[in-house]
Structure 1
Amino acid sequence: MRIIIERSNLLRSLGHIQRVVERRNTIPILSNVLLKTEEGAGLRLKATDLDLEITETAPAEIEMAGATTVPAHLLYDIVRKLPDGAEVKLGLNEGGTQMTVSAGRSNFRLQCLPEADFPDITTGTFSHSFTMKAQALARLVERTQFAISTEETRYYLNGIYFHALEVDGASRLRAVATDGHRLARAEADAPAGVEGMPGIIVPRKAVGELQKLLGEAGEDGDVAVELSDSKIRFTLGTVVMTSKLIDGTFPDYQRVIPQNNDKALTLDRSTFSAAVDRVSTISSERGRAVKLAISDSQLVLTVNSPESGTATEELAVGYDSDAIEIGFNAKYLLDITGQLSGEDTVFMLADPGSPTLIKDGGDEGTLYVLMPMRV
């Protein structure tokens, strides 16, 4: 194997690939990236942690075909430190036990493991496929990913639940995430091909990597999505990401979305978010509870901290129902307001012990449910 590749092309591909590789592995081959020449395409790179796999093809000049695996993070660090514009030469020794990496006067020899030992998780057929705008999928992910649970015992909440449904006669693709304290729901027009698609749970790590890839796709980029019973594959240009799905049943989230909350609080999103951020400065990390005292067109935010003191702030709001006092986790409030797109936000309240419904004035398809705290 002998190839010549531009440093920028190799660095970009390794930047995508090496993020999948865990820093510590009990299985040595999983610390490596697979490098394989592709006829007429260039150099194919692949990395996996057995649940998630990313492959990318980079343009390269192939002098001799071949394949091997080398430590992913080590190769990335080497290429990252090479000078801009450098031509990188990669070559294997006769026994295939070492790969040379050279650029200018820099030369490295890396230990290799055989290609045959590298695992492949992409076997199987995909029953559903569709293509949608990368920006539309990115919006679904961004609006919901913060609510993914990190509690491993409830593994079926450790991802985003995607499913297709009919809303007012229109086909929609919906994303939902919850950790039991808050719920985030967003939806977009369903692309052709989602009909009959089963509900799937995409794991948290895959969601994080997908979010980064979608962010690089640009406004006009497309993403191809393929589904099987146990896996999902996303294709964005030369990058292909395949992930196992969470094998579990997502709870009936519709049951926790309140239907009869009749107290409407309308407020300016940015003003409210800034006020919550200011008063929560005084709170300890353990509590982080902020009390909302709401009466005629006025909202008073209060935070009490036994160690630090008290903070209050008044806001003018739209509210004409009975006075109510309710407490929320300040971080959760800031997470939600940070995802809202409209200037105005509506809180639909019931009583101090019941979940609150938060609607985005700029997006009817997005809503949030937040459980209150005792204050």
Structure 2
Amino acid sequence: MKVTIERANLLKALNHVHRVVERRNTIPILANVLLRAEGGDLFLKATDLDMEIVDRVPAMVEAAGATTVPAHMLYDIVRKLPDGSEISLETGEGGTMTLRAGRARFSLQMLPDADFPDLNAGDLPTSFTLPSPVLRRLIERTQFAISTEETRYYLNGIYFHVLGGERLRAVATDGHRLAKAEVEAPEGSAGMPGVIVPRKTVGEIQKLLEDPEGSVEVALSDSKIRITVGAVVLTSKLIDGTFPDYERVIPKANDKILTLTKADFERAVDRVSTVSSDRGRAVKLSLSEGRMVLVVNNPDSGSATDELAVDYEAEPIEIGFNSRYLLDIAGQLTSEDAVFKLADAGSPTLIQDQTAEGTEADALYVLMPMRV
């Protein structure tokens, strides 16, 4: 294989694929990136056996061929080369690939391309296209609530499904909070299976959706998903499990309505939580007509209170929440005012954007209270 390629093109492609490669691998070939030169392109592929990313960049191919070299090392070398460099990659005898750029020269150990695993996607019967910002928004509004508890593996991702052929919905929960966002279902998505996309895959998809004018092609079965953004193709296994019936935990009868200015609330929570303990992070909200008092008590460091004017006319209530969770949710709200629907100090609270009368918010959040 002998190929010449612009540094900027190679770096962009390596940036897409190298992140999939785990730093520690018991299988040596999984630490490598597959390079295949043919026609007028250089193809790059990386995998961790659960997910693979393939990218293609234009290159001057003098001799077609393929090999694999250490992914992170190649990425670091290309990243440190000067802007505008022209890079030459050539495989030779002795099991090494030579990289040249200007006066710099590197020899990288190769492993045979024939040993590189292929993540066969199989048949993907459901396919549809979405604008990149739409899928990105679905991910951003729910990603923070993905569970990191490995024993409840079926919560370690975002659950995507279509309701009545009309709405594409994304849901994530860790048992303490739940995030739900939805958009109009794209053409071709009707009848898609409900799928749980793993946390790592979600993060990689999000990084590919950078172009605000771009679109993304989605193809999936009940076990795999393939995302195509431009020349980049990401294929991933899905979580093999059943997502819980989340509708059961979304409160329907919370009748105490609190409306407040989101930015003021965020700042107040952030201020008082300065004295909270890293473990507890509890903030107590004391509500009475027209006002909210935020209280944090930390036996080790002190206490803090703050007060906000709010729109609240129901009976007084005191309820505690994890301040970090409150800030996570507030950060996803897009309207100027936020609406809290409460029941009592021990029941889940519903939080959403304020919407025009008669319309529903396209995202809502459920937060479990804490004892304070």
| 2:364 is the counterpart of 1:367 | yes
What is the alpha-carbon distance in structure 1 between the residues aligned to residue 87 and residue 352 of structure 2? Answer: 52
- Matched residue SS, 1:364: coil
Equivalent residues of 2:158, 2:197 under 8 A apart: yes
* Alpha-carbon offset, residue 229 of structure 1: 2.3
Q: Does 1:178 align with 2:173?
A: yes
What are the within-5 Å matches in structure 2 for residues 19-168 of structure 1?
A: 19-40=19-40, 42-94=41-93, 97-166=95-164
Q: 3-state SS of the aligned residue for 2:263? A: helix
Report the alpha carbon displacement of residue 64 of structure 1 after superposing the two structures with TM. Answer: 0.3
Q: Does 1:196 align with 2:194?
A: no
What per-residue deviation string (whole Å, max 9, x for no partner) do you get for residues 179-221 of structure 1? 000000000111100010010000000001111111x2x2210
Q: 1:229 aligns with which of 222, 232, 237?
A: 222
**CA offsets 1:131-167 (integer angstroms, 9 cap, x no match):** 010000000000000000000000000000000013x
Residue 274 (1) aligns with residue 267 (2): yes
Match of 2:18 in 1: 18
Quote the Cα distance in structure 2 between the aligned partners of 1:361 and 1:60.
Answer: 51
Looking at structure 2, the residues matched to 134 and 316 of structure 1 have their Cα atoms a distance apart, in angstroms, of 39
SS class of match (1:131): strand
Q: Does 1:350 align with 2:343?
A: yes
- Provide the C-alpha distance between the structure 1 equivalents of 2:252 and 2:236, rounded to a whole number of angstroms: 35
| Residue 320 (structure 1) shift | 0.5
| Mapped partners of 1:288, 1:123: distance in 2 | 43
- The whole-number CA distance in structure 1 between the counterparts of 2:136 and 2:29 is 32
Query: Normalising by structure 1, what TM-score?
Result: 0.97
Counterpart code for 1:127:
P
Contact kept in structure 1, 2:146 and 2:172, CA below 8 Å: yes
Task: Output the amino acid matched with 1:54.
Answer: I
Return closer, same or farther for 1:123/1:346 CA change in 2, 3 Å cut-off.
closer
Question: What is the TM-score of this pair, normalised by structure 2?
Answer: 0.98
Paired residue secondary structure (2:311): coil
Contact 2:224–2:238 (8 Å) recurs in 1: yes
Matched letter for residue 114 of structure 1: P
Which sits farther off after the overlay, 114-123 or 356-365? 356-365
Residue in structure 1 matching 2:313, options 320, 323, 328: 320
Whole-angstrom CA distance in 2 between matches of 1:256 and 1:81? 50
1:238 pairs with 218, 231, 235, which one?
231
> Structure 1, unaligned stretches of length 5 or more?
none
Q: Secondary structure at the match of 1:89?
A: strand
Letter paired with 1:172: R
Question: What stretches of structure 1 move > 6 A for 4+ residues in a row?
Answer: none
Note the alpha carbon deviations across 1:58-79, whole angstroms, 9 max, x for none. 1100000000000000001111
Q: What is the CA-CA distance between 1:38 and the residue it aligns to? A: 3.2
Structure 2 regions of 5+ residues with no counterpart?
none
Kindly provide the amino acid, as one letter, of the partner of residue 84 in structure 1. Answer: D
SS at match of 2:247: helix
Residues 287-329 of structure 1, C-alpha deviations (whole Å, 9 max, x = no match): 1100000000100000000011110000000000000000000
| Same amino acid, percent of matched pairs | 68
Aligned length: 368
Task: Give the distance between the partners of 1:333 and 1:251, measured in 2 at CA.
Answer: 23
* 2:289 matched residue in structure 1: 296
Tell me the C-alpha RMSD between the 2 structures: 1.0
The residue identity in structure 2 corresponding to 1:35 is L
